[in-house]
Structure 1
Amino acid sequence: MFVLNPVLSRDSVLVGYFSLCQLRLINDAQFPWFVLVPQRNNVTEIYQLSNEDRLKLLSESCLLAEVLNDAFSATKLNIAAIGNHVPQLHVHHIVRYASDACWPAPVWGRLDAIPYTDENLAKILQKIQLRLSDVLTLPSDGAERCF
């Protein structure tokens, strides 16, 4: 059974499930910031995935990037698998704007997070879930829904 790192669980909300990855939203309203987490235990690096899972991860990442660019009209998308603080493999997808508070620097460690309000959380989840409705399985009623 797949086990999510407790830091990822604490800092994000489940958006839904692709065939390989959980899609999660980081609880920082300053940036539309999503994370793909391959549902494989004991994997810290992309090369540790099977060839089939690597292709799935790339496909899911590219699809998410296209949707985020379309949904948020990004200046730039920052996509990265860092893992220095949370070793479980996860791939960040951060929508960036030339007008955001950290531009052009990376967002990591720059600003304290500003949590989403319930209303804004519902809006962003609906926006993404609707655009991915053909490929994303939504959480069941009993699954986590808010921070």
Structure 2
Amino acid sequence: MYDDNIIYKNEFIYVEIHHSQIPWLKIFTTTPYKEFSECDTNTKQEILRALEIIEKQMLEYFKPTKINIASFGNYLPHVHFHIMARFENDDYFPESMWGIKQRENKLELGSFEIFFANISKLL
């Protein structure tokens, strides 16, 4: 449905699907800045606008236990943010998604495709 898993793009940012057990999106800057402080004002505003829309929609649509937002860039030194809807019974909770797996579980969640399409429209 989406080209290269990108569900939204403008001149400042693009939003990409991270395929996972949980709802997980990533926001990247279109210009490859290394640090958030290097971003111009418009790019920073677009990142924050997208973060807020995605977080609110994840909360409303999936009703997660918690939303995780992360930005590391150690392996990929390009400003990007991970936004993940977390659930008490997901495979890694309460660990990070990069942590130690806690269990094997199949989550019963709403359609990711419908959610991603809705995010595309809202952004």
The alignment's TM-score, normalised by the length of structure 1, stands at 0.67
Q: How many residues align?
A: 111
Change (3 A) 1:25 1:110: farther
Written as runs of structure 1 = structure 2, the 5 A alignment for 1:54-73 is 54-73=44-63
2:70 matched to 1:107? no
Q: State the one-letter code of the partner of 2:34.
A: T
Distance in 2 (CA, whole Å) between partners of 1:58 and 1:128 is: 18
The alignment's TM-score, normalised by the length of structure 2, stands at 0.78
Q: State the one-letter code of the partner of 1:77.
A: I
Q: What's the offset of the Cα at 1:84?
A: 1.2
Q: What's the offset of the Cα at 1:51?
A: 2.1
Written as runs of structure 1 = structure 2, the 5 A alignment for 1:31-46 is 31-41=22-32, 43-46=33-36
Structure 1, unmatched stretches of 5+, are: 1-11, 112-122, 136-147
Written as runs of structure 1 = structure 2, the 5 A alignment for 1:1-147 is 13-18=5-10, 20-28=12-20, 30-41=21-32, 43-110=33-100, 123-135=111-123
Change (3 A) 1:131 1:86: closer
Identity of aligned residues (%): 19
Structure 2, unmatched stretches of 5+, are: 102-110
Distance in 2 (CA, whole Å) between partners of 1:96 and 1:54 is: 25
| 1:15–1:125 CA contact under 8 A, matched in 2 | no
Cα deviations by residue, 1:29-85 (Å, 9 ceiling, x for unpaired)? x111110011113x0211110123212211111111111111211110000111111
Distance in 2 (CA, whole Å) between partners of 1:66 and 1:20 is: 21
Q: What's the offset of the Cα at 1:130?
A: 2.5
Higher RCO (CA 8 Å, separation ≥ 6 residues): 1
